[in-house]
A and B are shown apart, each in its own frame.
Chain A
Amino acid sequence: MNSLDLARWQFAITTVYHFIFVPITIGMGFLVAGLQTAWYRTNKAHYLRATKFFGKLFLINFAIGVVTGIVQEFQFGMNWSDYSRFVGDIFGAPLAMEGLLAFFLESTFLGLWIFGWDRLPKKIHLASIWLASLGTLFSAYFILAANAWMQHPVGYTMNVKRGRAELTDIFAVLTQNTALASFGHTIPSAFFTAGAVISGVSAWLLVKNRDVVMARATAKLGLITVIIAFVLVAITGDITARIMTTQQPMKMAAAEALYSTQESAPFSLFTIGTLDGSRSVFQIDLPGMLSFMSTGSTKGVVEGINDLQSKYVAQYGAGDYTPNIPIAYWGFRLMIGFGAIALLFALITLVRIRKNELPKGRWFLPAMISMPFLPLLANSFGWIFTENARQPWAVFGLIKTADGVSPAVGAASVAFTLVVFTLLYGVLAIIEFGLILRTIQVGPEGLDKNTDDVAMGGDSNRSLTMAY
C-alpha cells in the first residue's frame, strides 16, 4: 500500500470510529436533559435515577467521542496537507467556528453539569446539560456544512495562480440545501441511535425485573424516540437522495449499480451479483422505485454509471470517475436495512409495553440487546456509502482524493500511525464496552448506593457529590 491508501484507511477508521460515539452523544445529551427536566418539574425520584444512570452511560461514551474528535481535526493537516491547502480558505472557517461556538459550549457546560450537582442552583444545573447538548448540535451543523461543501461546492471561486478554491460567500456554504438536508438527516439519526440505546438498556432492566418503575418510563421514551426519529430520518433521507441525484448523479447510480441510463428505474432489495458487482445474477426489484427516490416520479429518468463516466471524461479529462460499486450498493442497503430492523423491533415492543405487559417470546431479549447496535451499523454504512461513492473526488469536481495527500509524509509514517491509532481505538473500545456493560449491571439503584452522594454537613468538610 502507498501513503495514499494508508491515509485513506486511517481517515476511514478514525471517522467511522469517531462516529460510533458522536450520534450517541448528540441524542443522549438531549434525552438525558429531557429526563432531568422531567425530574425538575415533577420531583419524581425515578426521573432522577434515570438522569444519573443514563448520564453515566452518556459520559463514558462522551469521553471517547471527544478525544477522537481531536484526531479528526488534526488529520487534515497531517495526512492531507495538499487537500488542506486547496480547501483551507473555505473549509477552515466552519471548523474554526465549530471550535469557538460548539466545543467551548459543550466542554464547559458539561463540566458544570458533571461537577455542579451541589454547587449550582437546580435550574442552572439543568440549563447546563441543555446548553452542552446545544453545543453538540452546533458542532454537528458546522462539520456537516463543511462536509456538504465537499459533496457540492458552492460560494467559491477558483484561484488558478495559487491553485486553490477561495471563499466568496460564507452564507452559501452554511445554508446550501446539501448542508441543511444532511443536518436534517444526521440529527434524527442521532436521536434514533440514542433512543435505541436507551430502549435496549431499559428492556434489559425490565426483563431482569430491575428498577421497573424507571425502566418502564425510559423504555417508552426510548422506543417513541426511535419511532419518531425514524420517520424524520426517512423523510430527510428522501430529500437527500433527490438533492444527491441532481448534484452527484454518479453516487445515486452507484447506490443502485445502475449501469445504463433508464426511465422508470427499479430499486433492487437484494442482489446476488458477480464478484465485482458489475452484473447481477439474481435480484428482487421494486419497479420504478429508484426513479421515485431520485426524481419523485416512478417514470423519472435516472442516469447510469457508463453514461456518467463518458460525460465526466468529456468534462474533466481522461480518468476513472466510477466509485467502488459494491461498497456503494451494499452500503446504501445496509444503512436502510439495519435502520428498518431497529424500527420493527421498536414498534412491536412499544405496542406490548403500552399494554403494560412485557413481550415474553424468546426473540425479545436478543432483539433488545441488538437494538443499540443496529443504528450504529446503519450510521456507519451511511457514511461509508456517501463518502465512498463521492470518489475519486475529495471535493466533487474540484480536487481528487489522490491529489490531497501530504507529499512530505512517507508511507512508513502513515503506516506506523495507522497501526498505533487502530490498536489504541481497539483497546479503548474494549474498555469502554466493558464499562458500559458494568454500569448497566450495577444499574440505576446500584449507582445510587455506590456514589459518594452523602452530605456530611459542615461546609469545607462536606463530601463532594461528584469527584473524579
Chain B
Amino acid sequence: MSFNTFWFVIIAVLWIGYFILEGFDFGVGILLKTVAKTQAERRAVLTTLGPLWDGNEVWLLVAGGATFAAFPEWYATLFSGFYLPLFLILVSLIVRGVSFEYRSKYGDSKWRNRWDNAIVISSFLPALLWGVAFANIVRGVPLKEENGVIEYAGGFFNLLNPYTLLGGLVTLSVFLTHGAIFLSLKTEGTIHDRARGLVTKIGLFAAVVTVAFLAITAVAYNSKTEVYGLAAVVAVAWLLALQFSHKGREGYAFLFSSVALAFAVITLFTTLYPNVMPSSLLESATLNITNASSTQYTLKVMTIVAVVLTPIVLIYQGWTYWVFRKRVSAKQISSPEVGVLDNINS
C-alpha cells in the first residue's frame, strides 16, 4: 500500500472514530430535554457524557490536523470551500463545550434552561451539517483550477440540494438513534426507558433514510461493486442494533450501531477513492490522493508518529470508558436543584 493510500485510510479511520464517539454525544445532546424532565435526570444525562465528550471531540481535531499534514490541498480547498457550514459547526462546538461546563453552576432555572437549549441546538446543527458536508464531498462540488491551484468555485447554496440534505438527515437520525442507544446503555430508571423507546422510533426512520441515501450514492456517484456490499453491511448492522435494543441487550445494540456507523464511513470513502474531492465541473480539477498530498517524506514521518501513538491513545481512551462503565441514575444526583456556586459563604 502506498503512503498516500495509507493516509487516506487513516483519515477514514479518524472520521469513523469521530462519528462513533461524538455521534452519540450529539444524539444525547439533542435528546437532553426529551429524555430528561427533572433536574436530577438532566444532570444524570449530562454526567454520562461528562468524562467522555472532550476526548471524543479530539478525534475531529486530529482528523483536521491529519488532513492538513497529509493532504494539505484537500484541507485548504475543503475548509475554505465549505466556509459557512464549517463556521456554523465551529460556533456550535464552542457553545456546546462551554454549556456542559457551565450549566449546573447555578440552580437558577432560567440560567439552566438557556444552557439546555444551547446544548440541544448546538448538538443538532453539527449532527445535521456533517452529513451535508460528507454528501457534498461524495457528490462533487464545483472546483476550478487556476495556476495549478484547485479552489472551490461555488457558493453556500451550491452545497444544498436534495441529495446532500438527505445526507444531513442520515447523520442527524443515525446520531439520534446512536445517542438513544448509548443512553439506554448508560442510565437507569425513567431516562433509560424513555431512551429505549426512542431507539426503535427514530431508528426505523434512520434505517429508511440511510438505505435511500446509500442506494443513491451507490448508483449515482460510484463505480465500484464493493460499495453495494459495504452498504448492505451498514443496513444489516443497523437492523441488528435495533433488534438488540428491542430485546434489551443494550451493549450489543451499541456495538452494532457503531459497526453500522463505521461501515457507512467506509462506504463513502470507498466510493471516493482514489479521489478526495471530486470536481463537478471538470475532471482535471478533481483532488485525489496524489495531487492533494504532502511529500513522501512527510507522509513517512507522519506514518511513524501515527503507528507509535495511535495504539497508546486507543488503550487509555478505552480505559476511560471502562472506568466510567457504570450506569448513572437520577437518584445518584444529590440536591440536583442546587448549583455549586449558589450559596455565598460569608
Check if A467 sits within 8 Å of B62, measured CB to CB: no
Q: Specify which chain B residues have a CB less than 8 angstroms from the CB of A464 in the assembled complex.
A: 47, 328, 332-333
Q: Which residues of B contact A71 (CB under 8 A)?
A: 90, 94
Interface status of A274 (Cβ within 8 A of chain B): no
B255 beta carbon closer than 8 Å to chain A: no
On chain B, which size bracket covers the interface? 35 or more
A449 to B339, CA, bound (A): 11
Q: Is the interface of B mostly helix, strand, loop or mixed?
A: helix
Cross-chain contact B343 with A170 (CB below 8 angstroms): no
Contact of B344 among A104, A107, A111, A441 (CB under 8 A): A441
Residues from 199 to 218 in B contacting A, C-beta threshold 8 Å: none
B293 to chain A, nearest CB (A): 9
A88 interface neighbour in B69, B83, B93, B149, Cβ under 8 Å: B69
Cβ contact of A95, chosen from B65, B152, B309, cutoff 8 A: B65
Bound-state Cα–Cα, A99 to B310, Å: 11
> Chain B nearest CB: distance from A24 CB in Å?
15
A 148-175 to B, binary, CB cutoff 8 A, 1 in contact else 0 = 0000000000000011101110100000
Residue on A nearest B77 in the bound complex, by CB: A81
Partner of B58, one of A68, A87, A104: A104
Determine the residue in chain A with the shortest Cβ distance to B329: A460
Chain A residues lying within 8 Å of B101, measured Cβ to Cβ, are: 59-60, 63, 468
Name A101's closest neighbour in chain B (CB-CB).
Answer: B309
Contact B76 A452 (CB under 8 A): no
Tell which of A95, A170, A445, A463 touches B334, judged by Cβ atoms closer than 8 Å: A463
The 29 sampled A-B contact pairs (Cβ below 8 Å) are A63-B100, A70-B60, A70-B61, A73-B61, A74-B79, A76-B68, A84-B68, A89-B295, A89-B298, A91-B68, A92-B66, A92-B67, A95-B69, A96-B68, A99-B64, A99-B66, A166-B294, A406-B83, A407-B151, A409-B83, A449-B343, A450-B340, A452-B335, A461-B332, A463-B332, A466-B50, A467-B47, A468-B46, A468-B50
Shortest beta-carbon distance, B4 to chain A, in Å?
A: 13
Known: A74-B79, A450-B342. A166 touches B295 (CB 8 A): yes
Bound-state Cα–Cα, A316 to B13, Å: 44
The answer to whether the Cβ of A413 comes within 8 Å of any Cβ in the partner chain is yes
Q: Contact check, A167 vs B68: say whether CB atoms are below 8 A apart.
A: no
**A51-78 CB contacts (< 8 Å) to partner B:** 56, 59-60, 63-64, 66-71, 73-74, 76-78
On whether the beta carbons of B340 and A451 are closer than 8 Å, the reply is yes
CA separation between A166 and B293, bound complex, in Å?
11
Binds B, one of A112-120, A228-236, A290-298: A112-120
With contact pairs A99-B66, A446-B343 given, residues A108 and B317 touching in the complex (Cβ less than 8 Å): yes
B240 interface residue (CB < 8 Å to A): no
A90-B298, A467-B47 given; name 4 further pairs at CB < 8 Å: A92-B298, A95-B65, A98-B65, A100-B313
In the assembled complex, which residues on chain B have CB atoms less than 8 Å from the CB atom of A450?
Answer: 338-343
State which of B54, B66, B76, B333 has its C-beta within 8 Å of the C-beta of A467. Answer: B333
The answer to whether the Cβ of B91 comes within 8 Å of any Cβ in the partner chain is yes
Selected interface stretch from B174-182, B264-272, B300-308: B300-308
**In the assembled complex, how far is the CB of residue B14 from the closest CB belonging to chain A, in whole angstroms?**
9
Q: How far is the CA of A274 from the CA of B327 in the complex (A)?
A: 69
Contact of A431 among B102, B313, B344 (CB under 8 A): B102
Asked whether A409 lies within 8 Å of B80 as measured between CB atoms, the reply is yes
Going nearest first, the 4 A-B pairs with the smallest beta carbon separation are A88-B72, A77-B79, A92-B69, A446-B345
Minimum CB–CB distance from A181 to chain B (whole Å) comes to 23
Shortest CB-to-CB span from B110 to chain A, Å, is 14
Contact of A424 among B58, B77, B91, B294 (CB under 8 A): B91
Segment 43-64 of B: residues with Cβ below 8 Å from A:
43-44, 46-47, 49-52, 54-55, 57-58, 60-62, 64
Most chain A CB inside 10 Å of its own CB: which residue of B61, B77, B149, B317? B61
Contact of B81 with A by CB under 8 A: yes
Considering the chains assembled together, what is the distance between the CA atoms of A69 and B50 in angstroms?
19
Q: Is B249 an interface residue (CB 8 A)?
A: no
- Please determine whether B313 and A104 come into contact, CB atoms closer than 8 angstroms: yes
Taken residue by residue from 341 to 382, chain A's Cβ proximity to chain B (1 for < 8 Å, 0 otherwise) reads as 000000000000000000000000000000000000000000
Cα distance, A166 to B298, chains bound together (Å):
8
**Range class of the A interface residue count:** 35 or more
Bound-state CA distance A326–B43 (Å) is 52
A280 sits at the interface (CB 8 A): no
Known: A82-B76, A88-B75, A107-B55. A446 touches B344 (CB 8 A): yes
Nearest B residue to A78 via CB reads: B79
Q: Quote the shortest CB–CB distance from B145 to chain A (angstroms).
A: 12
Contacts of B151 in A (CB 8 A): 81, 407-408
Distance A426 CA – B305 CA, assembled complex (angstroms): 38
A91, B294: Cα distance in complex, Å = 11
| Interface membership of B104, Cβ < 8 A | yes
* Bound form: Cα–Cα A466–B61 in Å: 27
Are A408 and B152 closer than 8 Å at their CB atoms?
yes
Residue of B nearest to A462 (CB): B332
The answer to whether B65 and A99 have CB atoms under 8 Å apart is yes
From A90, A170, A413, A424, contact of B84 by CB (8 A): A413
Closest Cβ–Cβ distance, residue A99 to chain B (whole Å): 4
Interface: B86 (CB within 8 A) = yes
Interface check A310, CB cutoff 8 A: no
Given contacts A92-B72, A442-B344, contact A97 B43 (CB under 8 A): no
Closest B residue, CB atoms, query A454: B334
Q: Does A85 contact B (CB under 8 A)?
A: yes
A85 in contact with B49 given A74-B64, A107-B58, A450-B342 (CB within 8 Å): no
Q: Which residue of B lies closest to A467 (CB)?
A: B47
| A170–B298 alpha-carbon span in the complex (Å) | 8
Q: With an 8 A cutoff between CB atoms, is B153 at the interface?
A: yes
B320 within 8 A of A: yes
B148: interface (CB < 8 Å): yes
- Provided the pairs A92-B72, A107-B54 are in contact, do residues A70 and B93 lie with their beta carbons within 8 angstroms? yes
Q: Are A84's CB and B75's CB within 8 A?
A: yes
Q: Are A100 and B310 in contact (CB under 8 A)?
A: yes
Q: Are B51 and A78 in contact (CB under 8 A)?
A: no
Chain B residues with Cβ below 8 Å from A406 are 76, 80, 83
The answer to whether B345 and A115 touch across the interface, beta carbons within 8 angstroms, is no
Residues of A within 8 Å of B94, CB to CB, are 67-68, 70-71, 424, 428
| Per-position 1/0 for B280-305, Cβ under 8 A of A | 00000000000000110110011001
In the assembled complex, the CB of A15 is this many whole angstroms from the nearest CB of chain B, namely 15
Residues facing A in B218-250 (CB within 8 A) are: none
- Asked if residues A96 and B305 are in contact (CB atoms below 8 Å), the reply is yes
